[in-house]
């Protein structure tokens, strides 16, 4: 047992407990922290770790529970149970505890969607709002009894105020009267011994009849209670006694109430203290930037980016430590101040903390094992009083460890075998390691002896480790390297510091051949390690770059896919609009042909129908080509070789029909063309000049031949109009023409784009639509139609 306690001390386990105690809010929680010890079983340790993990999760999401005010009221509760009357301060402390218990339950109810292993603690709390409010209603925070504590107390205090007022009034009359003014030291009324008095000069004692209650220090002033108010003061005295007795009665009644719930309150306090202790472990986890580790009992330790728990997180150098698989003993070598001892302490302290249910500063993928004992011999324990040398002190500790350790022990030995003859010390160190291995313990030891490095190289189950040292800067890096024996670096360090080269050469010559070969082997291993580490660093950089390139390519592919989908959707919408316009043109053309049939001979009407069929077919073919959202148009744009003149023969490109120009293009770019018996107006861009053909156009008498323009054939009605940028007057005129064209094209629904802006144009357009007989109804656009920037019109 002594070896275990000494191990806790050298590993600084008590400092962790002190930090945990400071993280507690209530004194009871701090007592739990200072009494913390590693769990006696794996199941208990895992339960404690689960509590810590849940406390971290709850604190992260909902903040800390309100533990302020939880205090030890056991003494007051015990006195109440035996029938004693508690003081006001005791009762207020009980009420404060009840308030905190109720706040804890309310805090847990606010996080009720979270199920945790702490629920049993919270469920065990029994808030008592009845008793809490009864105490706080009767006793004020300044430890004064409230007038409302009882009807009797309120009545007594009311009478006290009235009686006191009468006495003061009588004395005020005396001190302000001309008769008594010259007898008084001051014109004031004061109290002595709870009775009202006035200050009278000593030489006028006989002039003021009454009772003397006090004198000044000089004797020049007497404090006299005049006979006129003695009776009233007596009445006050009786009332004060009644008040005191009533307060005592109220305190006794409240104390009796407390005694009824004393056991429940005491249990609630103990539960709250345990909860504070658990949440203090979460607070310590946040301060150390620690996490809850995976704990097993297989004796395997695999720590990644482990930091010493007592070093500041931003200053500690993370290290990786393995032990238990595939080796059970780790021999760590390296220069002084290189981090060997810190590595041992880190391993031991983190193991103790995990076994105590505390979070530890390691990476999430780390593994720890439960041990029955963690035994350590670390540091110089030379004792002058006991006449022990450093070697003797170490051996005393190691002997205790050898008596205590077993198959479920973790043994940490610092500078094993040091302090004596190097040859004997090295041999003794090897023998101690062999004995510990036979006992089944997991061992980590630091040393400077080359014999132990060689022992680790040659012995299965024993592995070398070293603390890296940068010879170029003469500074340790504090990195722990597993599988690599450390070099002494004595010659290199001496050379860097300026030692004569001749001395270093002579020292190397004095080394035995065996020592030289060993150093050469270690040097070769070190070079190979550095090369492998550089290669691994390069490979890791390439892997990260490849991963970044892969993510960038995936992101670009997603962007292109999204763009393709958007383009296809836009093309489909355009195609639907084109089809709608084609249908409108066809309907308008057929309507005109029907009208012509009524007016002209049958053979002319039949010719018109054939022309209409070819026109509609050509337009639909053109629409099919332009509606393809993937294939691009290959035709090159056509440009007229010269301006068209009357009589030119042209090809109407859209319908593949020849015609004759009757008049040149107007301001809007429209040309009047005669195609067979049909006159029509065609956009100049749709015409192709037939340069070898030309006819003479003669003026005709009015009405001799049919000169009807087919509405909608080439100037098809549009389904939407854009008014943005126009004045209100221009927009309204455009709307009227747009609706007329849409009616002639038999469209049932059109869109008017006016934009959002200030809303003035939208309001004017919608007000104008109300008076248009062709408008059945209208509404603002929905999502995807332009919303409030568009008005959708239904036509009659």
Closest CA to 62 of 12, 7, 112: 112
Closest CA to 653 of 687, 622, 702, 681: 687
Burial 752-787 (b: 16+ CB within 10 A, else e): bebbeeeeebbebbbebbeebeebeebeebeeeebe
Ligand-binding site membership of 676 (annotated): no
Q: How many C-beta neighbours within 10 Å does residue 324 have?
A: 17
Ligand-binding site membership of 423 (annotated): no
Ligand-binding site membership of 336 (annotated): yes
* DSSP per-residue letters across 372-416: SEEEEE-S---BTTTTB-HHHHHHHHHHHHHHH--TTEEEEESST
Q: For tokens 């006001």, what's the residue?
A: 88
Closest CA to 368 of 376, 382, 377, 358: 358
Ligand-binding site membership of 334 (annotated): yes
Helix axes 390-404, 2-10, angle to 10 degrees: 120
Q: How far apart are CA 518 and CA 551, in angstroms?
A: 48
List, in sequence order, every residue forming a beta bridge with 649; answer none if it has no partner.
660, 690
List, in sequence order, every residue forming a beta bridge with 215; answer none if it has no partner.
222
Ligand-binding site membership of 335 (annotated): yes
Helix axes 262-288, 227-260, angle to 10 degrees: 70
* DSSP per-residue letters across 57-117: HHHHHH-----TT----HHHHHHHHTTPPPPHHHHHHHHHHHHHHHHHHHHHHHTTT---T
Q: For tokens 């504070």, what's the residue?
A: 276
Is residue 216 classed as helix, strand or coil in its secondary structure? coil
Ligand-binding site membership of 341 (annotated): yes
Distances (CA, A) of 305 to 205, 463, 526: 91, 20, 22
Q: How far apart are CA 173 and CA 505, in angstroms?
A: 114
Ligand-binding site membership of 338 (annotated): yes
Q: How far apart are CA 544 and CA 780, in angstroms?
A: 53
List, in sequence order, every residue forming a beta bridge with 467; answer none if it has no partner.
480
Ligand-binding site membership of 339 (annotated): yes
* DSSP per-residue letters across 456-487: HHHSTTEEEEEEEEETTTTEEEEEEEET-PPP
Query: In the numeric block, which tokens belong to residue 399?
Result: 């002997």
Q: Between β-strands 462-470 and 442-446, what pairing exists: parallel, antiparallel or unpaired?
A: unpaired
565: exposed, middle or buried (Cβ count in 10 Å: 0-12, 13-18, 19+): exposed
Q: Are 780 and 790 in contact (CB under 8 A)?
A: yes
Is residue 287 classed as helix, strand or coil in its secondary structure? helix
Q: How far apart are CA 679 and CA 254, in angstroms?
A: 112
Contacts of 26 (CB under 8 A, 6+ apart): 67, 68, 69, 70, 71, 272, 273, 276
Annotated binding site for ATP: 334-341
Annotated binding site: 334-341
């Amino acid at each position: 047992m002594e070896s275990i306690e000494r191990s806790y001390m050298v590993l600084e386990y008590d400092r962790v407990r002190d930090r945990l105690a400071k993280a507690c809010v209530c004194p009871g929680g701090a007592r739990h922290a200072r009494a913390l010890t590693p769990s006696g079983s794996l199941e208990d340790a895992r339960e404690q770790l689960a509590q810590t993990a849940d406390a971290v999760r709850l604190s992260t999401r909902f903040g800390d529970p309100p533990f302020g005010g939880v205090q030890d009221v056991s003494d007051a509760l015990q006195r109440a149970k035996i029938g004693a009357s508690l003081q006001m301060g005791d009762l207020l402390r009980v009420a404060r505890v009840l308030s905190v218990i109720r706040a804890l339950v309310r805090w847990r109810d606010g996080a009720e969607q979270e199920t945790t292993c702490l629920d049993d603690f919270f469920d065990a709390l029994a808030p008592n709002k009845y008793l809490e409010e009864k105490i706080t209603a009767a006793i004020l925070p300044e430890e004064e009894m409230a007038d409302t504590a009882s009807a009797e107390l309120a009545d007594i205090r009311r009478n006290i105020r009235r009686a006191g007022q009468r006495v003061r009034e009588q004395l005020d009359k005396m001190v302000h009267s001309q008769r008594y003014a010259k007898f008084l030291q001051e014109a004031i009324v004061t109290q002595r011994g709870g009775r009202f008095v006035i200050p009278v000069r000593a030489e006028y004692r006989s002039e003021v009849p009454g009772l003397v209650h006090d004198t000044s220090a000089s004797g020049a002033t007497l404090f006299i209670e005049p006979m006129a108010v003695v009776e009233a003061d007596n009445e006050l005295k009786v009332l004060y006694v009644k008040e005191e007795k009533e307060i005592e009665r109220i305190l006794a009644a409240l104390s009796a109430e407390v005694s009824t719930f004393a056991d429940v309150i005491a249990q609630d306090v103990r539960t709250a203290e345990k909860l504070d202790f658990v949440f203090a472990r979460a607070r310590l986890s946040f301060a150390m930037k620690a996490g809850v580790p995976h704990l097993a009992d297989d004796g395997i330790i695999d720590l990644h980016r482990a930091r010493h728990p007592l070093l500041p997180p931003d200053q500690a150098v993370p290290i990786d430590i393995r032990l238990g698989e595939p080796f059970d003993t780790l021999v760590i070598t390296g220069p002084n101040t290189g981090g060997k001892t810190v590595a041992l302490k880190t391993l031991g302290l983190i193991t103790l903390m995990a076994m105590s249910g505390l979070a530890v500063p390691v990476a999430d993928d780390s593994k720890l094992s439960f041990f029955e004992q963690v035994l350590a011999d670390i540091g110089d324990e030379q004792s002058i009083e006991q006449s022990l040398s450093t070697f003797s002190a170490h051996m005393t500790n190691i002997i205790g460890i050898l008596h205590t350790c077993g198959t479920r022990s973790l043994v940490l030995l610092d500078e094993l075998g040091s302090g004596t003859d190097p040859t004997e010390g090295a041999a003794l160190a090897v023998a101690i390691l062999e004995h510990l291995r036979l006992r089944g313990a997991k061992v980590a030891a630091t040393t400077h002896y080359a014999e132990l490095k060689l022992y680790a190289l040659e012995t299965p189950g024993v592995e070398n480790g070293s603390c890296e040292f940068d010879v170029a800067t003469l500074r340790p890096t504090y990195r722990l390297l597993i599988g690599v024996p450390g070099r002494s670096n004595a010659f290199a360090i001496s050379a860097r510091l300026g030692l004569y080269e001749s001395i270093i050469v002579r020292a190397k010559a004095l080394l035995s051949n065996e020592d030289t070969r060993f150093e050469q082997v270690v040097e070769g291993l070190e070079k190979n390690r550095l090369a492998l580490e550089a290669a691994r660093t390069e490979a890791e950089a390439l892997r990260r770059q490849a991963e970044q390139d892969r993510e960038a390519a995936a992101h670009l592919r997603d962007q292109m896919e999204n763009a393709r989908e958007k383009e296809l959707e836009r093309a489909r919408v355009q195609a639907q609009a084109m089809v709608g316009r084609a249908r409108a043109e066809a309907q308008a053309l057929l309507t005109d042909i029907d009208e012509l049939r009524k007016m002209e001979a049958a053979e002319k009407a039949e010719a018109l129908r054939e022309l209409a069929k070819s026109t509609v077919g050509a337009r639909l073919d053109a629409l099919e080509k332009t509606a393809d959202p993937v294939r691009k148009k290959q035709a090159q744009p056509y440009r007229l070789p010269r301006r068209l003149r009357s009589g030119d023969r042209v090809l109407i490109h859209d319908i593949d029909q020849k015609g004759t120009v009757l008049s040149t293009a107007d301001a809007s770019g429209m040309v009047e063309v005669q195609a067979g018996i049909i006159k029509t107006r065609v956009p100049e861009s749709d015409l192709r000049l037939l340069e070898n053909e030309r006819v003479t156009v003669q003026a005709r008498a009015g009405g001799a031949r049919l000169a009807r323009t087919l509405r909608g054939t080439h100037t098809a009605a549009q389904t939407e109009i854009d008014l943005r940028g126009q004045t209100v007057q221009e927009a309204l005129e455009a709307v009227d023409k747009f609706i007329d064209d849409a009616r002639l094209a038999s469209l049932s629904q059109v869109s008017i784009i006016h934009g959002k802006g200030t809303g003035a144009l939208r309001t004017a357009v919608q007000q104008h639509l109300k008076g248009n007989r062709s408008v059945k109804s209208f509404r603002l656009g929905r999502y995807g139609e332009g919303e409030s920037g568009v008005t959708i019109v239904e036509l009659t």
